[in-house]
Amino acid sequence: MPEDHDANPAIRLLGTGASIDELHLAAEGCTACELYREATQVVFGSGSTRAPLMLVGEQPGDVEDREGEPFVGPAGAVLDEALAGAGITTDDVYVTNVVKHFRWEPKGNRRLHKTPATRHVRACLPWLEAELASVVPKVIVCLGAVAAQALLGRSFRVTKQRGEAIDWEGRTVVATIHPSAVLRAREPEERDRLRAALIEDLSIAARLAAD
């Protein structure tokens, strides 16, 4: 189903100086793609609206969809631990996702994550642009491939370019793995390696934001 840009209130709000609270309220009426039909609610960004770091993930998960807050599920717990390991406080970050509605598929009584399609990312990008204009972070941290490719292009590879400081439209972007990658690792050694990589990349972003 093609996205309906006229159904995205963010487009009308770009350049108006709208606050995060105003954007969040407007996002509740977004119908720019079909994901709003099956999601419980829109999950907008949260955190310090003057944060030097903006962390951008893929989309809300099942817990986030039910609670209405980003990164409050298992991946959020991993992220919180990694932020602490990198010496980053909650005052330093604003956390959001590229896609604001949960895309899922049923499996029994469970709702399983389904990666958003390019059309969903494209339909939702005006919200991220509006968040960037409101928060004005010094450094953007892309958590995972979907977020990184949404900003840096389809050819970007997190596995090869994670931790690099990249100029994007006058802003500094650092890409790293999504915290859920740590959860998916089967072996303890692999989990430890991925967790260390996430902390390392967040530490790089924190240093860049402090310069």
30: nearest Cα among 129, 117, 124, 135: 124
pLDDT by residue, tens only, the chain of 211 residues: 344 445 788 888 888 889 999 999 999 999 999 999 999 999 999 999 999 999 999 999 999 999 999 999 999 999 999 999 999 998 999 999 999 999 999 999 999 999 999 999 999 999 999 999 999 999 999 999 999 999 999 999 999 999 999 999 999 999 999 999 999 999 999 999 999 999 999 999 999 999 8
Q: Which residues pair with 167 in a beta bridge?
A: 172
Please name each of the domains of the chain with its CATH number.
5-210 (3.40.470.10)
Helix axes 188-210, 74-85, angle to 10 degrees: 60
pTM score, two decimals? 0.94
Contact 56, 147 (CB under 8 A): yes
CA distance 19 to 24: 9
